[in-house]
């Protein structure tokens, strides 16, 4: 169960869109005493700052949260004590299930040899070939391309209009 406590203190600052900043930007705050991590958006403490919390409470994806609060892709949004629990549980499961261990070892060997990348490439090329053979899928892809081009064209027009208005104004 996720332990939740109220924020400790006031936010350190605010983003222009009104979201607060708890703790330091670029640092995932850890409370060693309770073994929890702080959500930089609301200041509450959790075992894991989950995507479900970020979406429901703040309307953010994990990627957007990391970007806004300066957290790297390798920053785990989980308390160290929770990570240790999960690691111990996974190791115990591997010890008790020889078939699982064998499958993981085979996958690691394929990854080291490059076989995994080769198979992934074959699978994606095959999927593309198969998907383009279906008329409905071809229509969907063309429509998606048209919509994407319209969005790009509209953004370009907007930039051009903004550029004209700023260059036309006296300096």
pLDDT digits (tens, 9 = 90+) for 70-86: 998 889 999 999 999 99
If you average pLDDT over each of 31-40, 111-120, 160-169, which comes out highest?
31-40
The pLDDT of residue 96: 93
pLDDT at residue 161 in the model: 72
CA angle 76, 48, 94 (to 5 degrees): 70
Does 100 share its domain with 42? no
Q: Where are the alpha helices (DSSP H) in the chain?
A: 51-53, 62-68, 80-96, 98-113, 115-133, 135-168
8 A C-beta contact, residue 60 and residue 54: yes
Asked, for residue 106, whether it belongs to a domain, the answer is yes
Model pLDDT, residue 37? 93
Two tokens at 74? 């390798």
Average pLDDT of every residue of the chain: 81
Residue 104 has pLDDT above 80, yes or no: yes
The answer to whether residues 41 and 60 belong to one domain is yes
Shared domain for 69 and 134, answered yes or no, is no
Q: Find out whether 47 and 79 touch, Cβ atoms under 8 Å.
A: yes
Per-residue confidence (pLDDT) for residue 6, from 0 to 100: 64
Give whole-number Cα distances, 39 to 3, 84, 155, in Å: 12, 20, 34
| Average pLDDT estimate for 78-103 | 92
Is 166's pLDDT higher than 60? no
What is the pLDDT, as a whole number, of residue 171?
A: 46
Which domain covers residue 67, as residue numbers?
13-79
CA atoms within 13 A on the CB side of 38: 26
**Does residue 95 share a domain with residue 67?**
no
DSSP 13: E
Distance of CA 64 to the CA centre of its chain: 7
Q: In degrees to the nearest 10, what's the CA dihedral of 35, 20, 73, 104?
A: 40
Structural domain includes residue 60:
yes
> In the chain, count of helices (H) and strands (E)?
6, 5
Domain boundary among 79, 105, 134: 79
pTM over 0.75? The answer is no
């Amino acid at each position: 169960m996720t332990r939740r406590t109220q924020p400790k203190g006031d936010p350190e600052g605010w983003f222009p869109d009104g979201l607060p900043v708890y703790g330091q930007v670029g640092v995932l705050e850890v409370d060693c005493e309770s073994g929890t991590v702080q959500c930089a958006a609301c200041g509450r403490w959790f075992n894991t700052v989950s995507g479900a919390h970020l979406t429901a409470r703040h309307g953010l994806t994990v990627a957007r949260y990391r970007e806004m609060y300066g957290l790297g892709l390798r920053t785990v949004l989980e308390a160290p004590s929770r990570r240790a629990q999960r690691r111990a549980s996974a190791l115990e499961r591997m010890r008790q299930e020889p078939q699982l261990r064998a499958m993981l070892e085979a996958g690691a060997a394929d990854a080291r040899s490059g076989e995994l990348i080769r198979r992934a490439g074959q699978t994606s090329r095959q999927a593309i070939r198969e998907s383009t053979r279906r008329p409905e899928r071809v229509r969907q892809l063309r429509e998606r391309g048209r919509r994407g081009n319209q969005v790009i064209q509209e953004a370009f027009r907007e930039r051009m209009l903004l550029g004209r208005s700023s260059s036309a104004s006296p300096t």
